Structure 1
Amino acid sequence: MTLRSKPYHWLYAFVLIALSAFSVQSVAETSMEQTGELQLWHKISLIFDGPETSERADYNPFIHYRLNIIFTHPATGDRFVIPGYFAADGNAANTGAESGNKWVAHFSPNHTGLWKWQASFRKNRFVAVSAKVDAGVSGGFMDGQQGQFTVSESNKELPDFRAAGRLQYVNEPYLKFAQSQTYFIKAGPDAPENFLAYQDFDGTFHNDGHKDDLVKTWEPHLTDWKKGDPTWQNGKGKAIIGALNYLNSKGLNAVSFLTMNIMGDDQNVFPYVDYNTYDRMDVSKLAQWEIVFEHAQSLGLFLHFKTQEAENQGLLDGGGTGLQRKLYYRELMARFGHHLALNWNLGEENGEWFKNHPTMPQHTNERIAMARYFYENDPYHHHLVIHNGIDYDDLFSADSHYTGASVQTHKADFSSVHTAVKRLRDWPVINGRPWAIAVDEPGDAQHSLVPDRMNPAHNNARQNGLWGALMAGGWGTEWYFGYANEHSDLTAQDYRSRDLFWDQARHSIAFFDALDVPFQRAKSHDELLSSAADYVLAVPGEFYIVYLKDASHQPTLNFKNFSGDFEINWFNPREGGEMQQGSKTTIQAKWVHKAKLNNTFNLGLPPSTPNQDWVVVVKRK
């Protein structure tokens, strides 16, 4: 029926005009507050007055509204579509608010100079997860609102990631900082996986009957909190902030955590208002998570987001990527995606690999779909990984958007770590993308990295696990605590339980940070060494990084068809420190075409304790 045929067409038209005028007026009058330092790589937040609503409103604010902010940099043409979110009263971390009219978007700019922005605020059923730009109808308020600001250089210093820029996958086996142009080697704890099961966070998980005894106080790290560090609600949060301070004090640079473990081993970590609701977020709890994550980044701690585990991989949409999963991912990206150094892990121990899965295990289509959703919606294209339950061979297809693997191994002596990384580094390159491989659960399920009290030397962990991964071309390690000992994967609240090992992990980071050879171009070349138990990471003819578990054996290094003068230096992986000279300081390699010459040399002896493990750097003069 046309408008003319309506008996009150004039009244209908008047209402349309009035509504249109109201919409324009509401855009012009919507309040917007801009917070954050207008500096490169810093978090800049736009906070809008939008519709008054609540976490449990009948018209679901998480599903039926969609705030996107389009940021453009005219000088370069760079464009980011940043998802926004409902933020209750805008200060929910401190007030615990469940309702309000504040809507927020966070942006971390990658260029100095002028940035322009324009808001898109749409409303309709399920509009939040729609890929259509014009989905639904205008939500009024900030829809169409525009503005601009000018960004200057950052004034931050390392280890704050804002001094280094965004950590990016750059089509290489190692991640690289956009500002400093340096490569990143990570080391830190993978446990406890329920890091966020913390009593000072808001939410229903404390007393909902789901393993409430596992909720943490982080009390051993309360004394690590420092004056001036963040808290919320009149002093809450000090202990978990102190735990991050301790990791930083040990020179570690990564922390790992699940963001959803409903039906899993712990069952106290989830972004939702309660255990059984999957489409409504606990705004104040997530704002408190953000305080923790922001502090971690200021300390130079990489954030390993583990978005699900084996037991709950089929909880959302039966394992598919529908409304529930898309909403979960969108909320993670909107609230935390602005952080500079992180990866999204789309499934811990993923796939069908044990009997009696409590939820539907995911198969190739589901695994591919998760990564595609992140690729299409994460404006920063953070590193995308998945953890092995089943193997990775179904994810090397042309439609896969994964950029790496998060590896778990199963031997108590960590002896399978090196071969696991080598195997994945040798797999085919898909779409020009070699995977970046990290070992995030080395060791067996029972023990893995045991407390110092049980094994203060940690020789197998250091030799086979830590250096085994790095010398195969892995970009880092995280350390699982096992389930059979005190300070376990679920019960740990004191990172000092592995204090002696963290020193050894720190030495490995320092070694690679100080290297003056392009290790990012190296691959495993163990075949060049005469001892089968040791490792070689090399660009043959340029440099060789050799790890010897017992340097007194003096194995030989084969230079094959390369000639030249090479210098030799030694590094102590147990105690760290500067490079040192051993009994032999140079090698003169010589290869003559068709001549039967033996172009192999031993490396001499280290400066001390030759029957211990040492790292040798042999590089062309």
Structure 2
Amino acid sequence: MKYPAFLLLALFAFSCQTATKSDISIQGELKQWHKVTLLINGPETSEYAAENPFLDYKLDVTFKNGTDSYTVPGFYAADGQAGETSAREGAIWKVHFRPNAPGTWSYTVSFLNGKNIAILDGNVSGEPVGAHGTEGTFEIGASDKTGADFRAHGRIVNGGKGYFKIQGADELWIKNGADSPENFLAYEDFDQTYRFSLKNEVREGEADPKKGLHAYEAHISDWKEGDPTWQDGKGKGIIGAVNYLHSAGLNSIYMLTMNILGDGKDVWPYSDHNERYRFDCSKLDQWEVVLDHMESLGMMAHFVLQETENEVLLDNGYTDVQRRVYLRELVARFGHHLGVSWNLGEENGPHNWTPVGQTHQQKLDMAAYLRNLQSWPGNIVLHTHSDDEYQDKYLEPMLGAGAIDGPSMQIANPVRVHERIRYWVEASEGVGERWVVCMDEIGPHWMGVMPDADDPKHDTVRNHCLWGSLMAGGAGVEWYFGYRYAHNDLALEDFRSRENWWVQSTLATRFMKQFPLEEMSCLDELVDAPGAYCLAREGETYLVYLPAGTDVAKLRLNQSVAMNVRWFNPRSGGELQQGSIASINGNGLQALGTPPSDPDMDWVVVIQP
């Protein structure tokens, strides 16, 4: 729905604020974890003004409640409703904030003008403008949201013990997401979105510039009355796609925010493909509509900030003016969301097939600047190359450095997933900084997870990648679709092409959440069965994954405790079932018996007192 700028200001003028100036209004529901936006009347300018509004103005607002204090960057918003009007000029500036507690919140505005002031560190001096120095208060009540909506729960953070958690609560959050299409935001209804390429030939794995952008037409029917759109009904395809993924049990979407010179060449936040210092206010407003909807459904935005092909496009890899203004704009606009993971870059670092890339120090600098932009806990991860050599080369120096919360793993050989996830879980734990290790992209690069039409049962991926990751202590999964099958990584239009797979991935991640995972370790050596996985807290809980074809499995108990034996079907789910043996007791190897049915298929055994 469209609202003129003057009406927006009038609607929110009657908030609970107490301000010393009349050029600030408050937008949004004044409730815990909801988005509260300060709309500030500032300098009249434009995306293309000689005095760059993205670089030469610095807007920060400090919010306080008791001992809590958060300084949040603001951004230039053109006419304040650019997503509807496609405006490139105006005098509205915004700051998005998420109050983490009910009560009285105060705010203080810092609004300064000066050359490149937006990206300067520390307490900078500049010319005060507009609402600079304005102070006010507003009252925050309890959230009225329920269900999966992040606003009902809070921010998703690194829990410090290898898993995501809900901030301030003792509740684990296990990622179950779509890694494809990586160019999720290359959507035809977004302003100034198109595919740019000067190539006459396109290599396999790249998007064809002669073909259209994502329309997600198969998901228009998944859009529901009351769901958001923009500009007279645009956006139904992508909003419907988000609805479908949520209905299938997914809670995360992987999305590049800039793929200039990359595989897709169709996503950027800038006001032009060739621009590096100015941003498209209307396009980014439209992205925000999608992200707001994702949040209402409890879906994390996994922002991938660059690709291996363009990781030195900004400042030759350094964190200088171009990279700083890019990161600041994204954090100012989208960092407030309660489910966000910032990925420093896909396949980050040089490789023999992509020899130009960021150095270790450049990655550290980028991560540090990104973290410093956020007053709240942020999740920062690093996507890897697919082979052991380059994973070790770039991740080992990160161990114990405090720069990232964990690796976003790409593993070429599905059979190696369990081994490699376990390696990085244990390596990070060994230096006293347990990483959140996620399995985000499986190989081979041309295949990934095939459509149901080509692989209806997905046995290999379920065994080696899904359960292999989770049983190694992995914190979550996202699924990549390769480039040789229908609805592939860059050309996906219908997420239902993998509906059978979503069922299995959702069953596994929801099943795992009920156990004390932070206290459990991968202990495959306790199980006497080829290819079995074991995640356990000895003496209390043992989860044993038995691959298809397991004849006899035995579990080594190191203390004499009576344990019940139950079986979970990883293919179709359901309640725990009893197999041929109801319980075990005693030291040493104990036979687990046979499953309740389908003895030639894979099963998960749950052993507890």
Note whether the superposition's TM-score is higher than 0.5: yes
Shift of 1:617: 1.1
In structure 2, give the amino acid aligned to 1:187.
N
Q: Secondary structure at the match of 2:93?
A: strand
Shift of 1:336: 0.5
Contact 1:171/1:432 (<8 A) preserved: no
Q: Secondary structure at the match of 2:418?
A: helix
Match of 2:368 among 368, 372, 375: 372
**Which 4+ residue blocks in structure 1 deviate beyond 6 angstroms?**
207-210
Shift of 1:317: 0.3
1:401 maps to 2:393 = no
Match of 1:252 among 246, 250, 253: 250
Counterparts of 1:209 and 1:282 in 2: how far apart (Å)? Answer: 23
Q: Secondary structure at the match of 1:433?
A: coil
Q: Secondary structure at the match of 2:272?
A: coil
CA separation of 1:183 and 1:397: change in aligned 2, threshold 3 A:
closer
Match of 2:604 among 589, 611, 615: 615
Which string of whole-angstrom CA distances, capped at 9 and with x for unpartnered residues, describes residues 76-105 of structure 1? x01111010000011011111100000100
CA separation of 1:505 and 1:404: change in aligned 2, threshold 3 A:
same
1:282 maps to 2:310 = no
Q: Secondary structure at the match of 1:287?
A: helix
Alignment of 1:13-412 (within 5 A): 28-74=20-66, 77-133=67-123, 135-178=124-167, 180-203=169-192, 205=194, 211=209, 213-357=211-355, 360-389=356-385, 390-391=390-391, 392-396=394-398, 399-411=401-413
- Bigger radius of gyration, 1 or 2? 1
The count of corresponding residues between Structure 1 and Structure 2 is 576
More divergent stretch after superposition (297-306 vs 576-585): 576-585
Q: Secondary structure at the match of 2:496?
A: helix
Which string of whole-angstrom CA distances, capped at 9 and with x for unpartnered residues, describes residues 276-329 of structure 1? 111000000000000001101111111111110100000000011101111111
Shift of 1:181: 2.5
Number of the residue aligned with 1:22: none
TM-score (norm 2): 0.92
Counterparts of 2:382 and 2:212 in 1: how far apart (Å)? Answer: 26
More divergent stretch after superposition (477-486 vs 225-234): 477-486
CA separation of 1:329 and 1:544: change in aligned 2, threshold 3 A:
same
Number of the residue aligned with 1:543: 541
Counterparts of 2:160 and 2:379 in 1: how far apart (Å)? Answer: 11
Contact 1:30/1:50 (<8 A) preserved: no
Number of the residue aligned with 2:487: 487
Which string of whole-angstrom CA distances, capped at 9 and with x for unpartnered residues, describes residues 11-67 of structure 1? xxxxxxxxxxxxxxxx95441111111111111111100000000000000000010
Q: Secondary structure at the match of 1:506?
A: helix
Counterparts of 2:117 and 2:187 in 1: how far apart (Å)? Answer: 33
Counterparts of 1:207 and 1:261 in 2: how far apart (Å)? Answer: 10
In structure 2, give the amino acid aligned to 1:39.
K
Which string of whole-angstrom CA distances, capped at 9 and with x for unpartnered residues, describes residues 416-467 of structure 1? 1111101101114487421110010012101010111101000001111111
Which string of whole-angstrom CA distances, capped at 9 and with x for unpartnered residues, describes residues 486-517 of structure 1? 2111111110111110110110122123x2x3
Number of the residue aligned with 1:589: 586
More divergent stretch after superposition (424-433 vs 114-123): 424-433
What is the identity percentage for the equivalent residue pairs of Structure 1 and Structure 2?
A: 41
Q: CA RMSD in A?
A: 1.7
Q: Secondary structure at the match of 2:306?
A: coil
Shift of 1:69: 0.5
Counterparts of 2:152 and 2:565 in 1: how far apart (Å)? Answer: 33
CA separation of 1:529 and 1:362: change in aligned 2, threshold 3 A:
same
Shift of 1:395: 3.6
Counterparts of 2:127 and 2:210 in 1: how far apart (Å)? Answer: 43
In structure 1, give the amino acid aligned to 2:544.
V
Shift of 1:107: 0.6
Number of the residue aligned with 2:203: none
Counterparts of 1:589 and 1:34 in 2: how far apart (Å)? Answer: 65
Contact 2:428/2:435 (<8 A) preserved: no
Counterparts of 2:445 and 2:315 in 1: how far apart (Å)? Answer: 29
CA separation of 1:431 and 1:469: change in aligned 2, threshold 3 A:
closer
More divergent stretch after superposition (566-575 vs 372-381): 372-381
Q: Secondary structure at the match of 2:363?
A: helix
Q: Secondary structure at the match of 2:312?
A: coil
Number of the residue aligned with 2:532: 534
More divergent stretch after superposition (275-284 vs 551-560): 551-560
Which string of whole-angstrom CA distances, capped at 9 and with x for unpartnered residues, describes residues 381-408 of structure 1? 2111001123243443554421101000
Contact 2:308/2:354 (<8 A) preserved: no
Shift of 1:356: 5.0
Counterparts of 1:317 and 1:108 in 2: how far apart (Å)? Answer: 32
Which string of whole-angstrom CA distances, capped at 9 and with x for unpartnered residues, describes residues 214-265 of structure 1? 5111111111111000000010000000000110111111111100000000
Q: Secondary structure at the match of 1:564?
A: coil
Shift of 1:161: 1.0
Unaligned runs of 5+ in 2: 1-18, 200-208
Q: Secondary structure at the match of 2:309?
A: helix
Number of the residue aligned with 2:4: none
Contact 1:212/1:268 (<8 A) preserved: no
Counterparts of 1:212 and 1:57 in 2: how far apart (Å)? Answer: 33
CA separation of 1:429 and 1:544: change in aligned 2, threshold 3 A:
closer
Q: Secondary structure at the match of 1:271?
A: coil
More divergent stretch after superposition (28-37 vs 393-402): 393-402
Number of the residue aligned with 2:14: none
